[in-house]
């Protein structure tokens, strides 16, 4: 049944019609881990997609049919380009061509661990001169409740538009999980919140034709909080098992054996596994967006902040275990050759965002160790905003492994030959629980 507000908003009716007919042009701002798979999904379902990115090299690469993201299929990119359904530009003035503008830009933390909305605000300032009536703008970047209203709606209305009548605004958090073969862009349910009912109706049309299940919620603030809850839930539980790992280790108990045993309970328990710290674009960052915003309401989110402290301490814990292992072998960390296995933030992907492996490498370097890494998914250490290493991935052979004073297993890629590594390494600091059977040269971390 058609919503009354939508029926009375001619711009919304017309836009919904174009979206349902797939005659609308979809603009996606930010051609990264979120923007690229979303663009491919729209293109493969018949939409024309115009991607926007500030990186001219990335734009040229995508227009040539190639993606530097490992799990993105080059053939799918090339096919979309060849069919005339996908193009990437650095010219934000072309935003006027799009009927929908979907913002997929980073929302990191600054050095004070406070929200940095610079990319979102910069994107909005670039788009504003080129907005027109009859467009829908969707923010997908993770952020605190109120961002869409305060930073998107306010700016649009100051430009002379009425949101919900001329231009439509929704918040729909991305839920990408790079490397996950069980779920992909169109099978992961899409939460959508609109600034008005007409906005929500347009948002449902925007995503309804390309996502299997759309989950409408009552407001943009609800949708923003939903995303935070999802990732804070993971961060808190990972913090719990990381703390349990430290307690279990002191008691001489293998925490991974404990988790596996607990996971046999068919109800009331969900297994989470410890590691060298949190990584990825969401879990290490999202809790601090909520804790920062909560202070505006006079609230101190103690539980969330405590889990953040525990998780942030994990790289130092891993290095501490390495120091002790070397001391037991009459060696100092300073001057030792240390090989870090895996520098992506999780197994079997090339995603380096917020990877705890990099922090481990920095701690080792600062302590005077000679650091190298091996990662089959990251052949050369990439350019990063805050981290600098002039390194290439080491090819693993029995001889190269044996040549290091210690090996730190930071990311448990399936491509590693773990038996060969265990046979030849002088000592292994295992932060992922790969080596379950006791061994003289394996130290659990």
Crossing angle of helices 286-296 and 220-250, in 10° steps, is: 120
For CA atoms 56, 388, 180, 106, the dihedral sign is negative
Does residue 239 sit in the same domain as residue 208?
Answer: no
Domain termination residue (choose one: 185, 218, 251): 218
Does residue 210 sit in the same domain as residue 233?
Answer: no
Residue 282 annotated in active site: yes
Q: Is the model's pLDDT at 111 over the cut of 90?
A: no
Which residues constitute the domain of residue 153? Answer: 4-218
Mean pLDDT over 100-125 rounds to 93
Does residue 16 sit in the same domain as residue 164?
Answer: yes
pLDDT digits (tens, 9 = 90+) for 31-72: 999 999 999 999 999 999 999 999 999 999 999 999 999 989
The per-residue pLDDT for 4 is 46
Mean pLDDT over 197-202 rounds to 97
pLDDT digits (tens, 9 = 90+) for 298-345: 999 999 999 999 999 999 999 999 999 999 999 999 999 999 999 999
- Name the residue with tokens 């814990």: 317
CA–CA dist 355, 343 (Å, integer): 7
Does residue 307 sit in the same domain as residue 433?
Answer: no
For the chain, the average pLDDT equals 94
* β-strands 190-194, 168-171 pairing: antiparallel
The per-residue pLDDT for 384 is 79
The per-residue pLDDT for 283 is 76
Does residue 372 sit in the same domain as residue 413?
Answer: yes
Does residue 359 sit in the same domain as residue 302?
Answer: no
The model's pTM = 0.91
Closest to 44 measured CA to CA, from 105, 85, 1? 85
Does residue 267 sit in the same domain as residue 330?
Answer: no
80 Cβ contact partners less than 8 Å away, ≥ 6 residues apart: 39, 40, 43, 44, 49, 86
Structurally, the chain folds into a number of domains equal to: 3
Mean pLDDT over 352-369 rounds to 95
Structure tokens at 339: 């090989």
Domain termination residue (choose one: 312, 344, 373): 312
Share of the chain above pLDDT 90, in %: 89
Residue pair 185/207 in contact (Cβ under 8 Å)? The answer is no
Does residue 280 sit in the same domain as residue 265?
Answer: yes
Please pick, among 49, 81, 205, 282, the residue that the annotation labels catalytic: 282
Does residue 415 sit in the same domain as residue 381?
Answer: yes
The per-residue pLDDT for 8 is 56
Residue 87 backbone phi and psi in degrees, to 5: -145, 145
Does residue 164 sit in the same domain as residue 240?
Answer: no
User: CATH code at 427?
Assistant: 3.40.50.720
Does residue 43 sit in the same domain as residue 182?
Answer: yes
Domain termination residue (choose one: 271, 289, 312): 312
Does residue 10 sit in the same domain as residue 30?
Answer: yes
How far apart, in Å, do the first and last CA atoms of the chain sit?
57
Q: Is the model's pLDDT at 7 over the cut of 70?
A: no
């Amino acid at each position: 049944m058609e919503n009354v507000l939508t029926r009375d908003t001619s711009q919304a009716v017309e836009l919904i019609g174009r979206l349902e007919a797939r005659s609308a042009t979809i603009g996606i701002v930010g051609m990264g881990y979120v923007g690229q798979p979303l663009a491919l999904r729209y293109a493969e379902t018949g939409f024309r997609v115009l991607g926007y990115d500030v990186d001219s090299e990335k734009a040229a690469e995508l227009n040539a049919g190639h993606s530097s993201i490992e799990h993105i299929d080059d053939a799918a990119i090339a096919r979309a380009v060849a069919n005339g359904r996908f193009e990437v530009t650095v010219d934000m003035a072309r935003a006027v061509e799009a009927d929908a503008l979907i913002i997929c830009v980073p929302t990191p933390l600054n050095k004070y661990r406070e929200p940095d909305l610079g990319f979102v605000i910069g994107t909005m300032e670039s788009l504003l001169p080129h907005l027109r009536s009859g467009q829908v703008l969707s923010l997908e970047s993770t952020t605190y409740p109120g961002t869409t209203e305060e930073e998107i709606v306010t700016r649009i209305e100051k430009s002379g538009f009425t949101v919900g009548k001329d231009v439509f605004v929704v918040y729909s958090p991305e839920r990408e999980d790079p490397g996950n073969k069980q779920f992909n862009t169109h099978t992961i349910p899409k939460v959508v919140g609109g600034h008005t009912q007409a906005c929500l109706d347009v948002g449902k049309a925007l995503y309804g034709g390309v996502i299997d299940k759309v989950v409408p919620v009552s407001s943009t603030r609800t949708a923003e909080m939903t995303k935070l809850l999802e990732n804070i839930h993971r961060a808190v539980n990972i913090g719990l098992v990381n703390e349990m790992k430290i307690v279990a280790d002191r008691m001489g108990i293998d925490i991974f054996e404990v988790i596996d045993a607990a996971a046999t309970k068919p109800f009331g328990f969900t297994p989470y596994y410890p590691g060298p710290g949190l990584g990825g674009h969401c879990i290490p960052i999202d809790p601090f967006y909520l804790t920062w915003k909560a202070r505006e309401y006079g609230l101190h989110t103690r539980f969330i902040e405590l889990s953040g402290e525990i998780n942030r301490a994990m790289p130092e814990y891993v290095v501490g275990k390495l120091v002790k292992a070397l001391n037991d072998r009459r060696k100092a960390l300073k001057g030792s050759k240390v090989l870090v296995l895996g520098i992506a933030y999780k197994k079997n992907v090339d995603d380096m965002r917020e990877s705890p492996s990099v922090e481990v490498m920095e701690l080792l370097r600062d302590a005077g160790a000679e650091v190298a890494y091996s990662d089959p998914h990251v052949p050369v250490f990439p350019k990063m905003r805050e981290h600098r290493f002039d390194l290439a991935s080491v090819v693993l052979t029995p001889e190269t492994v044996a040549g290091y004073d210690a090996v730190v297993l930071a990311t448990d890629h399936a491509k590693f030959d773990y038996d060969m590594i265990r046979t030849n390494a002088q000592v292994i600091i295992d932060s992922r629980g790969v080596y379950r059977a006791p061994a003289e040269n394996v130290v659990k971390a």
